[in-house]
Amino acid sequence: MLIRLLCACLRPYRWRTVLLLVLQLVQTVATLMLPTLNAAVIDDGVVKGDADYIVDTGIVMLALAVTQIVTAGIAAVLSSRITAALGRDLRSRVFRHVMRLSSGETTRFGTSSLSTRTVNDVVQIQRLTLTLMDVAVSAVIMCAGGLLLGLYQDTGLGLLLIGLVAVIGICLSVLLRRLGPPYALMQRCVDTMARLLREQISGVRVIRAFVRDGHERERFGKANDELFGVSLRVGRIMATIPVTLMVFMNVLTVALVWFAGLRINDGALRLGALNAVLGYLTLIIVAIIVVSFVFTEAPRARASAVRIEEVLNTPTSVPVPETPVDPWVTTGHLDVRRATFGYPGAQAPVLQDVSLKAGPGETIAVLGGTGSGKTTLLSLVLRLNDVTDGAVFVSGVDVRDMDPDILADSVGFVPQRPYLFAGTVASNLRYGNPEAGDEELWHALDVAQATEFVERMQNGLDSRISQGGSNISGGQRQRLAIARAVLGHPLIYLLDDCFSALDQGTESALRAALEEETAAATVLLVTQRIGSVQGADRIVVLDGGRVVGDGTHEELLHDSRAYREMAASQSTVQEVTGALADA
């Protein structure tokens, strides 16, 4: 899986990779030629007293050394650029795929895990790729070339070198096989740490309010100790690798010198050849050490590749249509036809056989208790999830067949818990309309009753907003979210209980301004409060994912038991009785 992922990511840079391999080959050949030439200087120059031969060979060795330095420098720059581009492309690929996933799929992975996979796991693959390109390729070539040239210098000593590489290769294979499971567990521990930190930092006020500091420290301590234990296991295995290599290197060096001494004593080996073989032994040992570092990183990179592929191979349940249908006329009509939706593996659907229609100029209120499926209904219109049965039409086109950009432009959404991005007031508002000028921004703030508090901020539209809008109140966040939706001038407004954090006076003023602004648009208002829906053109009551009432406030008080019960729980008995008498 790791090799397949690397091949796919490196395909756009295949010619650069080929050039890098050529440079590494030139660099390594130049390095390998030096011991052979050094042996020739000793045997044919020093021993024979040929000064001209020594000078000529020295010039060749100098040229090879310069070639090796230049090619190594160019190869290092090229490998860094390729690796940086690979990391950029892989992060973008994972991010784009995550953005296409439905809310159910992102929930299954978890925000912390997706963040770790997009950043930390990509870094692991990037590190391995850089090591492979920077040193591993040349190390493999050097090892193979050193063995061949060692055999060329002396067959017996060359066979000893081959035996060394074979024994070390077997030992490394055994050790590296043991590294795979701990590395996979280490990445899961990193996920757990990221999730706990996210929860504890975000929920620090709740933790302190309920005096749960000790409990949270204990949770973090367990996760920290587990990561420490896994890291310790990995460290112990990795610590045996250089020790093993040093033992074999020293033992073989002693055996090689002893065996070569016997050969020299018998006149079967020249002193220069021994010097060359010892040089190749050093190069081979260095190459093996470098390759061992690569192989110690490979199990962790492989575990990261598995996690990344798991995300990339997860199909989205809301695929983009191959040939999107563009509505000839964007009217803003909303038609939900017998929509049913259930999460995979759930015992019962969240919504079942829900139907409603709304047109421009209409305000349809969706009322229901907690868990009745109100927000899920809005997610079907936005196509954050797809219906499991039935259909949702916007401007006469099934949202599953519509171009996502056209759907996003047609529908403006204000969630109950609005999210603001780190930046400024203006940058957050321009999510609704990137081309909006300051005058349009102030108009949207006027509609949302947010002008006063924005003007009080130090830099007005350029005032800083923290991540999530944590530096402003909940009501201010809701009003900025409403202004953001208004700025886009959508045909359909989806308002998900977005007045819950506002005081009664602000809500009343905002509703009046919003009613004027959305006079030609379709408005779908989700709420739990009876007082917020009495002025709606029609009220749809949800209970347990089903429509149990549809009509005006007066009609539902008379005909819908569920609506009367909600009204009774939120009003005085006299108000309900009087409303029934009037009806």
Got the DSSP string for 217-280? Answer: HHHHHHHHHHHHHHHHHHHHHHHHHHHHHHHHHHHHHHHHHHHHHHHHHTTSS-HHHHHHHHHH
**C-alpha span between 50 and 16 (Å, rounded):** 45
Q: What is the pLDDT of residue 572?
A: 43
Q: Which residues lie closer than 8 Å to 355 by C-beta, 6 or more apart? A: 336, 337, 338, 339, 390, 547
Q: Which of 93, 241, 109 is nearest to 175 (CA)?
A: 241
**C-alpha span between 437 and 487 (Å, rounded):** 10
**C-alpha span between 278 and 294 (Å, rounded):** 25
Q: What is the pLDDT of residue 574?
A: 40
Q: Which of 96, 74, 92, 83 is nearest to 10 (CA)?
A: 83
**Burial degree of 208 (CB within 10 A; 0-12, 13-18, 19+):** exposed
pLDDT per position as a tens digit, 68-125: 889 888 888 898 899 999 999 999 999 999 888 887 788 888 887 888 888 888 988 9
What the block records as the tokens of 459 is: 């830099």
Q: What is the pLDDT of residue 110?
A: 80
pLDDT per position as a tens digit, 453-506: 999 988 889 999 988 888 888 889 999 999 999 998 899 999 988 888 888 888
Q: Which of 123, 128, 114, 89 is nearest to 311 (CA)?
A: 114
pLDDT per position as a tens digit, 432-441: 888 889 999 9
Q: Are 350 and 376 in contact (CB under 8 A)?
A: yes
**C-alpha span between 164 and 251 (Å, rounded):** 10
pLDDT at 284 over 70: yes
Question: What integer is the mean pLDDT of 291-315?
Answer: 82
Q: What is the pLDDT of residue 576?
A: 47
* SS3 (DSSP) at 521: coil
Q: What is the pLDDT of residue 573?
A: 43
* SS3 (DSSP) at 138: helix
What the block records as the tokens of 337 is: 């036809």
Residue with tokens 């021993």: 47
Average pLDDT, the chain: 83
Local confidence band at 444 (pLDDT 50, 70, 90 cut-offs): very high
Q: Are 334 and 524 in contact (CB under 8 A)?
A: yes
**C-alpha span between 421 and 340 (Å, rounded):** 33
What the block records as the tokens of 146 is: 């050193």
What is the per-residue DSSP string for 546-567? EEEEEE-HHHHHHH-HHHHHHH
Local confidence band at 429 (pLDDT 50, 70, 90 cut-offs): very high
Q: Are 468 and 480 in contact (CB under 8 A)?
A: no
pLDDT at 446 over 90: yes
pLDDT at 136 over 60: yes
Angle made by CA atoms 169, 171, 173, in degrees to the nearest 5: 70
pLDDT at 410 over 80: yes
What the block records as the tokens of 463 is: 């005032």
**C-alpha span between 264 and 86 (Å, rounded):** 52
| 440-463 burial: b if 16+ Cβ within 10 Å, else e | bbbbbbebbbbbebbeebeebbeb
**C-alpha span between 312 and 100 (Å, rounded):** 11
Instruction: Give the DSSP H or E segment for 349.
Output: none
Question: What integer is the mean pLDDT of 298-325?
Answer: 85
pTM (whole model) above 0.75: no
Residue with tokens 């590489």: 165
